[in-house]
Amino acid sequence: MNKVLKVGIATVQEQRARSLAIAAGTRQRGDDEPHVWFPSVAAMARVLSDENMALLKAVREQRPDSMDTLAKVVGKQAPNVSRSLHTMAAYGLVEFIKNGRTVMPQATFEHLSVEFC
């Protein structure tokens, strides 16, 4: 697990240019650069809402063995919890560990840092 997950804000065009430069070898990713990029503050706010941050906190602290267990812990419906976690997984905030038919959510970081570029 990463200790700190750095989050950056950059337009899609800026993100694309950065990725193409890295792929072309004309630029290297710096150690201090964000790991996750959002296209806007509004997009970041939707993913890092208070409700989703509470889910992440429960994942880190309770270490639930399944999505259903997490849903019970936070008092939400399992499909809503699953949808929120899958959105966060797309940004690398959580990952899923499969154990047979059970899926266990796991946070990928301990602390979150936001950087505006």
Q: How far apart are CA 106 and CA 6, in angstroms?
A: 17
Within the chain, where are the H helices? 12-24, 41-47, 50-62, 67-74, 78-90
Map out the domains of the chain as residue ranges: 2-116
Q: pTM of this prediction?
A: 0.80
Condensed to tens digits (0 to 9), the pLDDT of residues 63-102 reads 999 999 999 999 999 999 999 999 999 988 999 999 888 8
Residue written as tokens 């996750």? 36
The fold adopted by the segment(s) 2-116 is Arc Repressor Mutant, subunit A (1.10.10)
Predicted confidence at residue 73, as pLDDT, reads 93
Residue pair 77/83 in contact (Cβ under 8 Å)? The answer is no
Condensed to tens digits (0 to 9), the pLDDT of residues 31-57 reads 888 888 888 889 999 999 999 999 999
